[in-house]
Amino acid sequence: MQYNKINNIINSYKEEYKKFMLISTFPDFNIVIDDTLGANLKTTFDKGIPTFLLSSTYIPELKSNARPGVYHELTHILHDSTILTGLNKQQREPYIKWYTEYYATQVQMKAALGFNNYYENYKFQLSTKVNDWIYKKNVAEDIAYKTLDYKSTIQSFIKNKDIYHIILHSIYYLSQINFWNKYCKEDVSKLIDYEFISLLLGKHDIEILDGLLKNPEIDNFSYFSDLNSISNQISNKIIMKLNIL
C-alpha cells in the first residue's frame, strides 16, 4: 500500500480515536513505513515529535481489524503529551511506561469489542466476536489464545533473562484479565490464569501493582513514583529468581 493512502487511513483513525476517547485535540506525529515490523506496530519518541511506525502490509492484511492496534499506539502518543509534562522524555519514561502500556491495552480491547467510546459500560458475552488482529475469534477463544500466548512468550523471556519484556507482557496480560473480569457478563475465572502471573511477579507485589493500575492518579507525581517503585521491586525479585535458576 502506498504511503499517501496509509497516511490518510491512519489520520482517519486518529479522528475516530478522538471521538472514541471524547477528546477534541490530538498531538502531531509522523508516520513512517518500516516493513521489518510485519504484523507489529511501534511508536518512538526520540526525535522530538512522536513517530508512528508500521509496515506497508499492516492495514491491507488486517483491514478494519487494524483499528484496535492503531488505537493502542495513539494512546501512547496521547499519554506522552498529557502526563508528567513538566519532565523531559528521558525523565518521564520510567514513570509512565507501565501505566501507558496498561491503559493502551484497555483502549485496544474496548475498540476490538465494539465499545462506542472508552467510558461506555458495555457488557459482552463469551460468544461475542473480537475484531482485532489477524485471527477471527470470539471472546472465549481470545482469552484462551492470549493466555496461552502470554505463558509461552514469558517462557522464552525467562530463558533469555529478559526482565523488561517479562514485566511488559505481564502488564499486558494483567490489563486483559481486569478487562475480561469487569466487562464480560459470564464468568472467565476458568479461562484466565491469574495464578501463573501471581507466582511470576509475587502475590503481594502484584496486588499492589494491580491496585495502582486500577486506580490511577495521573495528576499526582507520587502515584507514578509508587508505580515505578513497585515495578522496580518486582524487577529486582525476578532478577534474583532467575540468577538462582
Same domain, residue pair 62 and 123 = no
Same domain, residue pair 50 and 149 = no
- pLDDT for 244 equals 64
For the entire predicted model, the pTM comes to 0.95
Q: What is the mean pLDDT of residues 31-38?
A: 96
Same domain, residue pair 93 and 75 = no
Which of 30, 49, 82 represents a domain boundary (last residue)?
A: 82
Q: Is the pLDDT of residue 245 over 80?
A: no
200-243 confidence digits (pLDDT tens): 999 999 999 999 999 999 999 999 999 999 999 999 999 998 88
Same domain, residue pair 105 and 17 = no
Same domain, residue pair 106 and 53 = no
Grid cell, residue 143, equals: 482469552
Same domain, residue pair 95 and 191 = yes
Same domain, residue pair 98 and 129 = yes
Q: What is the mean pLDDT of residues 104-110?
A: 98
Same domain, residue pair 135 and 39 = no
152-190 confidence digits (pLDDT tens): 999 999 999 999 999 999 999 999 999 999 999 999 999
Same domain, residue pair 73 and 119 = no
Grid cell, residue 161, equals: 533473562
Count of domains observed in the chain: 2
pLDDT range class, residue 133, cuts 50, 70, 90:
confident
Ordered DSSP codes for 168-235:
HHHHHHHHHHHHHHHHBSS--TTTS-HHHHHHHH-HHHHHHHHHHHHS--TT-HHHHHHHHHHHHHHH
Contact predicate 193/204, CB 8 Å: no
Domain limits for position 114: 88-245
Coil, helix or strand at residue 62:
helix
56-100 confidence digits (pLDDT tens): 999 999 999 999 999 999 999 999 999 999 998 889 999 999 999
Which of 82, 110, 127 represents a domain boundary (last residue)?
A: 82
Q: Is the pLDDT of residue 110 over 70?
A: yes
